[in-house]
Amino acid sequence: MLIHVLKSKIHRVTVTEANLNYIGSITIDQDLLDAANILPNERVSIVNNNNGERFDTYVISGERGSGMICLNGAAARKVQPGDIIIIIAYGIMSEEEAKTYKPVILFPDTETNKLV
């Protein structure tokens, strides 16, 4: 049996932009993506701590070192710049793999969205 398991989490980053006039997705600073082991086009779940919204989208790579966290398209309606969100990526693995898998969990600075 295969199960969905927490693969990576970027815990508590600040939304820097919300761009309604874009096709969709979340743009994330490439430094955060590298550190969290999240790939462009990967599906992620977003949890908005400010309003309780939860939704899924896919990742676009943002400028390295920018601290960018931008929700695009319809997802832009579920956040406001300044909101604190959690970004979660899941993996699908066997129960045996899941027993020993260690997820990557980042705790960036919420003012700059950069790793401390």
Active site residue 58: yes
CA distance 15 to 83: 5
Among residues 45, 58, 61, 66, the one annotated as catalytic is: 58
Give the C-alpha distances (Å, rounded to integers) separating 62 from 25, 70, 73, 114. Answer: 11, 9, 16, 13
Among residues 25, 45, 61, 66, the one annotated as catalytic is: 25
Complete edge-to-edge strand list for the sheet that includes strand 25-29: 17-19, 69-72, 25-29, 54-62, 43-48, 84-94, 2-14, 104-106
CA distance 42 to 11: 17
Active site residue 90: no
- Residue 32: DSSP 8-state: H
Catalogue the active-site residues: 25, 58
